[in-house]
Chains A and B, each alone.
Chain A
Amino acid sequence: MLYVAPLWPAGHLSRKGGDHSFLCRIRTITVLAKRTACLISPLAGEMAGRPEGGAKERSPMSLFAGLLAFILLALAILPAHAQSVEDLVRQLPDGSFSDRGRVVQALAATGDARIAPLLESLAAGDLNVIEETGRIVTTSGRGDTVTATDALTGEEIGEVASAGVERIRVNNSLRRAVRTAVGQLTLMSPDAGTRMSAARAMFQAANPDNVELLDEAIAQEENPAVLQIMQEARAVAILRSDAEPAAFAEAVDVIVARGDRQALGILQAALSSADADVTPTIDAGISAIQRHLQLLDVGQNVWYGISLGAVLLLAAIGLAITFGVMGVINMAHGEMVMLGAYTTFVVQNMIRASFPELFAWSLAFALPAAFLVTGLIGIAIERGVIRWLYGRPLETLLATWGLSLIIQQAVRTTFGASNREVSNPFWMSGTFDFYGIAITWNRFWIVIFALVVFAGLLFVLKRTSLGLQMRAVTQNRRMASSMGIRTPWVDAMTFGLGSGIAGLAGVALSQIDNVSPNLGQGYIIDSFMVVVFGGVGNLWGTLVGAMTLGVLNKFLEPYAGAVLAKIFILVFIILFIQKRPRGLFALKGRAVDA
């Protein structure tokens, strides 16, 4: 706590019997300066080993000292200010994380405009200290020497040896302190976005000391969204102080109106310190929020189920072609998915190297590439292996399983055994809020993509001549052949289409899963499950099957846990297949027996 001494003459004096509450009450000092005095002097009191309550008695002596402190502070505030910020900044690198958290608080209390950006770069890990001079700098460039810039003044220092520059370490508790401090400093920033995050930070770290600061901010605020968060932050701060019952009840109302899980936690915590007459209001609020959350949980689970269903649909839909339409048990299907994901990796790397400005749209390039690569490999597999094995399901199963091992090991040898990094483009990162249900963008786009692929496949099967020929060949191969359809060519195209769609699935899965040689293995069983459950040979069955299994799984998971949920689903499918061996949507008619 050394930093207190040189900076805050008031702190010094209050230690010698000064009255910090007196200082706090002086209205002429700005809110920030007041906050500072209130913040620092308890520390000083602690240093002197005196219980805080001691400050409450006011002898003439201490009154005098307090007055003196005030005059000294008023005199010293400008020069001392400039001096102290510099000194405080120099103390950022040393000491324990909690000591440094206090330095951050003290820095925030100075209210200096340069502090917020400085603290932000501290939290981002961009601040360095030049070991020789103790100067805090940001650096640019790499190599033996780097260009240093003074972090506080922005003054260019020039080249320094990178060996003599050490990064200032931050941990989570320090980051939290910075977040709160930046929140305090930017609460009145001209930019609404900054004010919003400041208000959120104040909500997270609600502290009774901040009520006045928030009051001032609320009085100025014009943006209704920011205003609401600020009022909520103020309400939490009041709930954590020993406010009067009226203010307390008002704060409870604000939090109940917020109505989310955090609000619930805050109310539950407030219950213990509440007066008896506020308790019923809190209880009512808690149960209202709980009811609302239960409803939301159902919605949330439906969404999770749909998004899991979309992933299953994507993985299974290619198999619905090769297994469902052609009847080939293709164990290498998962590897087609994996190859699609690796194609995405290669495409992203090429784009990063050659056209970095197009990176956000890399997936748009990866989709056709993956379709082509896996489609061609599919055709090669059909021509090379599977066509010799039609009508021999067991041999097909073994041959394609062997192929899957070969492809896996080939990828492992080419790309290495470890995961490859495929980045999410910016439009696939983060969450948005849909009536209280948190929806992640990547899952959202995957659901859309799965539906588009499904619609596209339906279109190909029902509206193109290739689709017509495929259906003809499946329904009656010899008749189709007699009508002049080149059935071997149709077989190859069908298998290619199924594999190509697996490749498309791989592009999507690269966004949520590992890109490793094992990627496909995780999906092969699920895919078969979906196709068999939905009904072999029926695309709509695959869609309904995937969504049903997805939603079922997600409703079971919160109760049974992920492991048991998976087992229940398997048992369910076994029982279901006993009852309806042809799945949900069984094909009827002669085609079944062909």
Chain B
Amino acid sequence: MRGMRRTLIAGIAASLLVSAAGSAAAQDEGPIKVGVLHSLSGTMAISETTLKDVMLMLIEEQNKKGGLLGRQLEPVVIDIASDWPLAAEKAREMYEVNGVDAVFGCWTSVCRKSVLPVFEELNGLLFYPVQYEGEESQRNVFYTGASPNQQAIPAVDYLMNEEGVERWVLAGTDYVYPQTTNKILEAYLQDAGVAPEDIMINYTPFGHSDWQTIVSEIKAFGSSGKKTAVVSTINGDANVPFYRELGNQGVDAADIPVVAFSVGEEELAGLDTSPLVGHLAAWNYFMSVDTPENAEFIETWHAFIGSEERVTNDPMEAHYIGFNMWVGAVEKAGTTDADAVIDAIVGVEVPNLTGGTAVMLPNHHITKPVLIGEIQDDGQFDVVWETEDLVPGDAWSDFLPESAVLEADWTAPINCGNYNTQTQTCGGAQAAAN
């Protein structure tokens, strides 16, 4: 009898589901809306405007191919004006007013953190395209930029092995991404046998423009006879005066190389790079990478933006990968429904622009190659080293003792963003956000 009842309930539930799906399908006539949530004004506009443009281009290209599930895509662009509480408001507006099915957006970690609760509450999808500090994995977010093990750690390895660096300056802007990354790097370097007095950590405010003291401190730190390098997590506008001061004070890349995690082709556009030749950047993509996919992407970009001068950069590739993964997952699921897409997207493979394949992992990070490039005098990077294999993104750093035991896995049966492998318990979303 009881079994009878159970099948009955299951049957009713199933039929309800089917009808729900049917009605959903009925509603889903008309275009699929894709949210683009970037700052088009304020301090972050410098970086994010390009990402908005690349999203419009990707959507246009997809529409040329006949759209998605037979429907056209329609971009919904909202400016968040470099204002993070506003970003949360606008994310809500995207879902509740505009009815988008997925959102591509944010640049800074603080933006991501402030919109997270909205996506969680409304069960949305956010594709976040920028390298970040890790220590996070959320069911509704897909991290298509690099986590520290896909950028910072390989860069430090390169300097240690190829350049023989023994003394390290970790210089960053004073906020969450540099602080967390430097914490991980410090632990990693000390594990590798670097003495604490051979590590100098320095933070500067946002938009710092007077680098005289710090550059001379770096010079002094680097004159001890041990090979010294600077690992820079300096963000945004502060980079141009920093590199200018380096050039003017005659810090030669052959003596003290600077490897940067936030400086790409776009940031170098406002700079005469001839005094900077040889300084390094670690990314997962460079415009100079010579592959047919990349050549096509650059050509499409130039045609779309109407200028041969415009450069492409790593977060643009991340949007390219993220968008194609979302398209792949929607096609696989046959619907734009968030739960179905979240289930379908794990394992989706799309080609990246540097000649490999990106796979969405269960922790909502992706596999990436790591490239080390040296700045050239034309403002481009020349790849001097790359990882042999693709590096899977790690949500929780293996080099921080409290994070090393954590794993993120959004597939059954774990379904958790911060699963403790020792206690075999899930820490919950709150812990993940901290």
Residues of A at under 8 Å CB distance from B? Answer: 97-98, 125, 169, 171-173, 175-176, 179, 204, 260-262, 264-266, 268-269, 300-301, 304, 307-308, 311, 408-409, 412, 416-421, 423-424, 429-431, 438, 440-443, 512-518, 521-522, 554, 557-558, 561-563, 566
Measured CB to CB, the closest approach of chain B to A475, in angstroms, equals 37
A260: B residues at CB distance < 8 A: 223
Top-5 shortest CB links A-B: A419-B270, A265-B225, A261-B223, A440-B248, A417-B45
Which stretch, B60-68, B271-279, B348-356, B362-370, touches the partner chain A? Answer: B271-279
Whether a CB of chain A sits under 8 angstroms from the CB of B109 is no
In the complex, the answer to whether A175 meets B278 with C-beta atoms within 8 Å is yes
Residues of B at under 8 Å CB distance from A? Answer: 40-41, 43, 45-46, 49-50, 162-164, 174, 202-205, 207-210, 212-214, 216-217, 219-220, 223-225, 237, 240-241, 244-245, 247-250, 253-255, 257, 266-267, 269-272, 275, 277-278, 280, 374, 376-377, 382, 384-385
A515: B residues at CB distance < 8 A: 270
A412: B residues at CB distance < 8 A: 41, 45
Q: Contacts A265-B224, A418-B46; is A566 near B212 (CB within 8 Å)? A: no
In the complex, the answer to whether B225 meets A268 with C-beta atoms within 8 Å is yes
Number of A-B contacts (CB under 8 A): 150
Q: A430-B250, A438-B216 are in contact. List 7 more A-B contacts (CB 8 A).
A: A175-B253, A261-B219, A269-B224, A301-B213, A417-B40, A440-B212, A562-B202
Q: Most chain-B Cβ atoms within 10 A of its Cβ — which of A169, A172, A204, A300?
A: A172
In the complex, the answer to whether A431 meets B384 with C-beta atoms within 8 Å is no
In the complex, the answer to whether A516 meets B204 with C-beta atoms within 8 Å is no
Measured CB to CB, the closest approach of chain B to A506, in angstroms, equals 13
In the complex, the answer to whether B382 meets A169 with C-beta atoms within 8 Å is yes
In the complex, the answer to whether A176 meets B254 with C-beta atoms within 8 Å is yes
8 Å CB contact of B223 from A265, A308, A521, A558: A265
B204: A residues at CB distance < 8 A: 562-563
In the complex, the answer to whether A562 meets B208 with C-beta atoms within 8 Å is yes
Closest chain B residue, CB of each to CB of A175: B254
8 Å CB contact of A512 from B46, B164, B241, B280: B241
In the complex, the answer to whether B244 meets A418 with C-beta atoms within 8 Å is no
Give bound CA distance, A482 to B249, whole Å. 57
Measured CB to CB, the closest approach of chain A to B64, in angstroms, equals 26
B385: A residues at CB distance < 8 A: 171
Closest chain A residue, CB of each to CB of B40: A417
In the complex, the answer to whether B43 meets A172 with C-beta atoms within 8 Å is no
In the complex, the answer to whether B374 meets A262 with C-beta atoms within 8 Å is no
A566: B residues at CB distance < 8 A: 205
Measured CB to CB, the closest approach of chain A to B394, in angstroms, equals 27
In the complex, the answer to whether B212 meets A518 with C-beta atoms within 8 Å is no
Q: Most chain-A Cβ atoms within 10 A of its Cβ — which of B217, B247, B385?
A: B247
In the complex, the answer to whether A417 meets B272 with C-beta atoms within 8 Å is no
Measured CB to CB, the closest approach of chain B to A551, in angstroms, equals 12
Give bound CA distance, A67 to B396, whole Å. 64
Closest chain B residue, CB of each to CB of A97: B162
Q: Contacts A418-B266, A554-B213; is A172 near B278 (CB within 8 Å)? A: yes
In the complex, the answer to whether B272 meets A438 with C-beta atoms within 8 Å is no
In the complex, the answer to whether A419 meets B205 with C-beta atoms within 8 Å is no
Measured CB to CB, the closest approach of chain A to B186, in angstroms, equals 16
Measured CB to CB, the closest approach of chain A to B281, in angstroms, equals 13
B382: A residues at CB distance < 8 A: 125, 169
Give bound CA distance, A169 to B371, whole Å. 15
In the complex, the answer to whether B269 meets A419 with C-beta atoms within 8 Å is yes
Give bound CA distance, A509 to B250, whole Å. 20
B174: A residues at CB distance < 8 A: 563
In the complex, the answer to whether B376 meets A125 with C-beta atoms within 8 Å is yes
A514: B residues at CB distance < 8 A: 209, 237, 240-241, 270
In the complex, the answer to whether B46 meets A311 with C-beta atoms within 8 Å is no
Q: Contacts A97-B162, A563-B174; is A429 near B247 (CB within 8 Å)? A: yes
Give bound CA distance, A419 to B43, whole Å. 12
B205: A residues at CB distance < 8 A: 562-563, 566
A266: B residues at CB distance < 8 A: 225
B270: A residues at CB distance < 8 A: 418-421, 514-516
B210: A residues at CB distance < 8 A: 304, 308, 311
User: What would be 10 A-B contacts, judged by CB atoms less than 8 Å apart?
Assistant: A175-B278, A304-B210, A304-B212, A308-B212, A417-B45, A418-B270, A440-B212, A518-B207, A522-B237, A561-B202
Closest chain B residue, CB of each to CB of A440: B248
B267: A residues at CB distance < 8 A: 419
Measured CB to CB, the closest approach of chain A to B222, in angstroms, equals 9
8 Å CB contact of A421 from B45, B209, B271: B271
A264: B residues at CB distance < 8 A: 223-224
Q: Most chain-B Cβ atoms within 10 A of its Cβ — which of A262, A419, A521, A563?
A: A419
Give bound CA distance, A168 to B128, whole Å. 36
B244: A residues at CB distance < 8 A: 424, 442, 512
Give bound CA distance, A557 to B204, whole Å. 10
Give bound CA distance, A436 to B85, whole Å. 50
Closest chain B residue, CB of each to CB of A96: B162
8 Å CB contact of B162 from A173, A262, A423, A440: A173
Q: Contacts A443-B212, A563-B203; is A417 near B49 (CB within 8 Å)? A: yes
Q: Most chain-A Cβ atoms within 10 A of its Cβ — which of B49, B212, B266, B278?
A: B212
Give bound CA distance, A268 to B241, whole Å. 33
Give bound CA distance, A512 to B246, whole Å. 11
B224: A residues at CB distance < 8 A: 264-265, 268-269
